[in-house]
């Protein structure tokens, strides 16, 4: 029997004992439970004392991590090995925020020189845009920046620009992702073409949504300002430099990155340019520094004190032993409104896999469904089900001690609600009549930040990336490819001309029937 199999069997037996039977009892038995099951790192505290674990569970999970060689796999990532085997690529988003400049090599070449060169070009460009030194074709100051991108080329910058809005002191930044023309049209409605800069963000520069929006944006500029204005109203962020050139964007306005940066891990690269323009290069450097500090923690802390490892282990415990199929994200901070969407891509595109590294079908579950809304909004929508529904959904609370505004009477209510919801889920309430009975013993984790700063946000996102890495490593899957999004893209290319021609040959009856219904009226 392998060491990993032995560790798994030990966990199964432990789970069969229903340990810990009841969190309420666990708190009663151990007055130090909060202290033992929480950890502070800089200004972030993670409390997992309201999780369905005890000391024995954590010990057995750590044994599983050791047996599954998580540390070895982590070291391979930091060493630039080609751990994304299906695409034969290294996975080095950690190099993008490697503030120590410790050499990180791909194929024997240290990538830090290239990383720092692009960062410095981004710094010059964003400083110019923010100060007005880089102006539009008519010499006007840029008042609005529109980022056109989708998936990893949208969610990271869109989420972080909103999350760090108290630091925003640059031009307004907008995000257009959907191929639905309404998204671009609605955004352009309020904008002055003579003061607008478009950033076309696409790793591949082929993504249909982004290229369709980019061409429409180009037409809008040409219509209002003429063809000659184009170079001063566009910049590009991409790994496909030849395609950017063909679009008509000059080299001096093209910010590159590399194939070892996955889309969902790219906010630290030139894809973060909208954030740098919004909050300034110094704050962006703090964002990178926060992530780097977390990288160093993940790289060096022993398993038992390693926060991302701990969370990844809990995720596996919940998914494979408790068989929880979803996890709900509850940021009690409205600026983190887009966080659930960002985490959906990070976790579900990374770990939503059904085969192992060798392509063999797995016999256990992988990524849970992530979902959520900011608190307190979610309380008035789906928390009913979380408290009294038939399924148990672990919740992840995120709360910030200091308010990001100065309106009196709000923040204490917000924080009280976060605490009360986590408490109610765990404590429950007895009612013999049934309807008002809360079973309780429902698990949650709780993150506390002192303030939401560029550093703390950077650290939190890096923590999440490494947590996803850990669960992916335990499952033995490739967390860095995304073949599952390809088939739909191919089929859409076949279907689009059929909408015009009406040709339904070879289509299944449902697709044919729907297509007929959706065809434009003559
Ligand atoms: O949807 C698949 C995907 O490849 C994501 O992984 C990626 O973030 C997104 O599309 C955008 O891709 P690109 O940056 O190449 O336009």
**Residue with CA closest to ligand 1 atom 16:** 202
Given the residues 21, 59, 322, 380, the one annotated as active site: 380
Cα angle 103, 108, 111; round to 5: 45
The yes-or-no verdict on residue 163 having pLDDT over 80 is yes
The residue whose CB lies within 8 Å of the most ligand 1 atoms, and thus the one to mutate among 91, 482, 483, 487, is 482
Residue 273, SS3 per DSSP? helix
Sequence-distant (≥ 6) Cβ neighbours of residue 494 within 8 angstroms: none
**Cα atoms found within 13 Å of the Cα of residue 474, Cβ hemisphere only:** 29
Given the residues 209, 349, 373, 396, the one annotated as active site: 349
153 Cα to the center of ligand 1, angstroms: 7
**Cα atoms found within 13 Å of the Cα of residue 501, Cβ hemisphere only:** 8
Among 407, 418, 323, 474, which residue's Cα sits nearest to residue 4? 474
The residue whose CB lies within 8 Å of the most ligand 1 atoms, and thus the one to mutate among 87, 151, 243, 344, is 151
Tens of pLDDT along 356-384? 999 999 999 999 999 999 999 999 999 99
Given the residues 5, 109, 410, 489, the one annotated as active site: 489
Q: What is the pLDDT of residue 74?
A: 97
Alpha-carbon distance 374 to 394, whole Å?
16
Locate the ligand 1 atom nearest the alpha carbon of residue 349 and give its number: 6
Three state DSSP letters for 342-393:
HHHHHHHHHHCCCECCCCCECCCCCCCEEEECCCCHHHHCCHHHHHHCCCCC
H or E element at residue 493? helix 486-501
Alpha-carbon distance 271 to 264, whole Å?
10
264 Cα to the center of ligand 1, angstroms: 8
265 Cα to the center of ligand 1, angstroms: 11
What lines the ligand 1 site, CB under 6 Å?
150-153, 202-204, 207, 210, 263-264, 349, 482, 485
Q: What is the pLDDT of residue 11?
A: 87
Locate the ligand 1 atom nearest the alpha carbon of residue 201 and give its number: 14
Alpha-carbon distance 26 to 51, whole Å?
10
152 Cα to the center of ligand 1, angstroms: 6
Alpha-carbon distance 254 to 237, whole Å?
6
- Strand 144-148 with 196-201, pairing: parallel
User: Distances in Å between the alpha carbon of 358 and those of 86, 312, 361, 484, 492?
Assistant: 10, 22, 9, 17, 29
Averaged pLDDT, 312-329: 97
Q: What is the pLDDT of residue 448?
A: 98
Query: What is the helix, strand, coil percentage profile of the chain, to 5?
Result: 55, 10, 35
Sequence-distant (≥ 6) Cβ neighbours of residue 222 within 8 angstroms: 229, 230
**Residue 438 DSSP label:** B
Tens of pLDDT along 459-508? 999 999 999 999 999 999 999 999 999 999 999 999 999 999 999 999 99
Averaged pLDDT, 27-43: 95
416 Cα to the center of ligand 1, angstroms: 39
301 Cα to the center of ligand 1, angstroms: 32
**Residue with CA closest to ligand 1 atom 4:** 263
**Residue 435 DSSP label:** T
Confidence of residue 195 (pLDDT cuts 50, 70, 90): very high
Averaged pLDDT, 288-305: 96
Locate the ligand 1 atom nearest the alpha carbon of residue 204 and give its number: 15
Alpha-carbon distance 305 to 308, whole Å?
9
Alpha-carbon distance 7 to 64, whole Å?
5
Contact criterion met (CB below 8 Å) for 106 and 80: yes
Tens of pLDDT along 79-99? 999 999 999 999 999 999 999
**Residue with CA closest to ligand 1 atom 9:** 151
Of 17-26, 114-123, 217-226, least confident by mean pLDDT is 17-26
Averaged pLDDT, 118-139: 98
Question: What is the overall mean pLDDT for the chain?
Answer: 96
Cα angle 486, 488, 492; round to 5: 120
Tens of pLDDT along 206-252? 999 999 999 999 999 999 999 999 999 999 999 999 999 999 999 99
Locate the ligand 1 atom nearest the alpha carbon of residue 263 and give its number: 8
**Residue with CA closest to ligand 1 atom 6:** 263
Locate the ligand 1 atom nearest the alpha carbon of residue 238 and give its number: 14
The yes-or-no verdict on residue 20 having pLDDT over 70 is no
Tens of pLDDT along 427-446? 999 998 899 999 999 999 99
Locate the ligand 1 atom nearest the alpha carbon of residue 264 and give its number: 8
Q: What is the pLDDT of residue 390?
A: 97
User: Distances in Å between the alpha carbon of 29 and those of 22, 33, 88, 374, 430?
Assistant: 11, 9, 51, 33, 21
Averaged pLDDT, 318-328: 97
Share of the chain above pLDDT 70, in %: 99
The yes-or-no verdict on residue 19 having pLDDT over 80 is no
Locate the ligand 1 atom nearest the alpha carbon of residue 210 and give its number: 16
38 Cα to the center of ligand 1, angstroms: 36
Alpha-carbon distance 445 to 424, whole Å?
13
Assess whether 56 carries a catalytic annotation. Answer: no
Q: What is the pLDDT of residue 124?
A: 98
Q: What is the pLDDT of residue 522?
A: 78
Alpha-carbon distance 217 to 150, whole Å?
15
Q: The whole model's pTM is what?
A: 0.97
Q: 291: alpha, beta or left, given left = phi > 0 and alpha = psi -120 to 50? A: alpha
Q: What is the pLDDT of residue 9?
A: 87
206 Cα to the center of ligand 1, angstroms: 9
Contact criterion met (CB below 8 Å) for 315 and 369: no
Alpha-carbon distance 305 to 62, whole Å?
10
Among 303, 390, 294, which residue's Cα sits nearest to residue 61? 303
Confidence of residue 5 (pLDDT cuts 50, 70, 90): confident
Among 132, 95, 130, which residue's Cα sits nearest to residue 116? 95
- Strand 254-256 with 234-238, pairing: parallel
Q: What is the pLDDT of residue 10?
A: 87
Confidence of residue 21 (pLDDT cuts 50, 70, 90): confident
Q: How far apart are the first and last CA of the chain?
A: 68
Directed axis angle between helix 55-67 and helix 70-78, to 10°? 60
């Amino acid at each position: 029997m392998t060491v990993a199999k032995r560790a798994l069997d030990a966990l199964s037996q432990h789970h069969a004992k229903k340990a810990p039977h009841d969190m309420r009892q666990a708190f009663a038995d151990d007055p130090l439970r909060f202290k033992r099951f929480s950890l502070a790192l800089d200004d972030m505290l993670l409390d997992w004392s309201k999780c369905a674990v005890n000391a024995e569970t954590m010990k057995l999970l750590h044994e599983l991590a050791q047996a599954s060689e998580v540390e070895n796999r982590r070291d391979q990532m930091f060493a630039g090995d080609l751990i994304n085997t299906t695409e034969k690529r290294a996975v080095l988003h950690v190099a993008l925020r490697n503030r120590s400049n410790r050499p990180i090599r791909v194929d024997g070449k240290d990538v830090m020189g290239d990383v720092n060169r692009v960062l410095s070009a981004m710094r010059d460009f964003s400083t110019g845009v923010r100060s007005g030194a880089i102006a539009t074709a008519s010499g006007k100051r840029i008042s609005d920046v529109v980022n056109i991108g989708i998936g990893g080329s949208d969610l990271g910058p869109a989420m972080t620009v909103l999350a760090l809005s108290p630091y925003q002191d640059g031009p307004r930044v907008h995000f257009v992702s959907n191929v639905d023309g309404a998204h671009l049209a609605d955004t352009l409605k309020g904008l002055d073409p003579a003061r607008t800069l478009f950033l076309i963000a696409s790793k591949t520069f082929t993504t249909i949504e982004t290229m369709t929006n980019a061409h429409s944006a180009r037409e809008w500029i040409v219509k209002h300002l003429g063809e000659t204005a184009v170079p001063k109203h566009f910049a590009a962020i991409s790994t496909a430099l030849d395609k950017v050139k063909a679009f008509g964007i000059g080299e001096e306005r093209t910010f590159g990155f590399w194939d070892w940066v996955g889309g969902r891990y790219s906010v630290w690269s030139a894809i973060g340019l909208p954030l740098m323009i919004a909050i300034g290069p110094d704050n962006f450097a703090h964002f990178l520094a926060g992530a780097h500090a977390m990288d160093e923690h993940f790289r060096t802390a022993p398993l038992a004190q390693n926060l991302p490892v701990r969370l990844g282990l809990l995720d596996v415990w919940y998914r494979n032993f408790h068989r929880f199929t979803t996890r709900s994200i509850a940021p009690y901070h409205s600026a983190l409104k887009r966080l659930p969407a960002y985490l959906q891509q990070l976790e579900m595109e990374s770990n939503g896999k059904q085969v192992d590294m060798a392509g063999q079908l797995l016999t256990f579950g992988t990524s849970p469904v992530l979902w959520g809304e900011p608190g307190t909004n979610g309380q008035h929508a789906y928390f009913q089900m979380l408290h009294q529904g038939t399924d148990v959904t672990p919740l992840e609370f995120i709360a910030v001690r200091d308010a990001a505004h100065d309106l009196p009477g709000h923040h204490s209510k917000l924080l009280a609600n976060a605490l009360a919801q986590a408490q109610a889920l765990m404590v429950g309430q007895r009612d013999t009549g049934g309807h008002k009975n809360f079973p309780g013993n429902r698990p949650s984790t709780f993150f506390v930040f002192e303030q939401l700063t560029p550093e703390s946000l950077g650290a939190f996102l890096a923590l999440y990336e490494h947590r996803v890495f850990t669960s992916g490593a335990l499952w033995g899957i490739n967390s860095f490819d995304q073949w599952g999004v390809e088939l739909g893209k191919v089929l859409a290319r076949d279907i689009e001309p059929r909408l015009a021609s009406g040709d339904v040959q070879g289509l299944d009856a449902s697709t044919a029937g729907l297509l007929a219904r959706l065809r434009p009226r003559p």
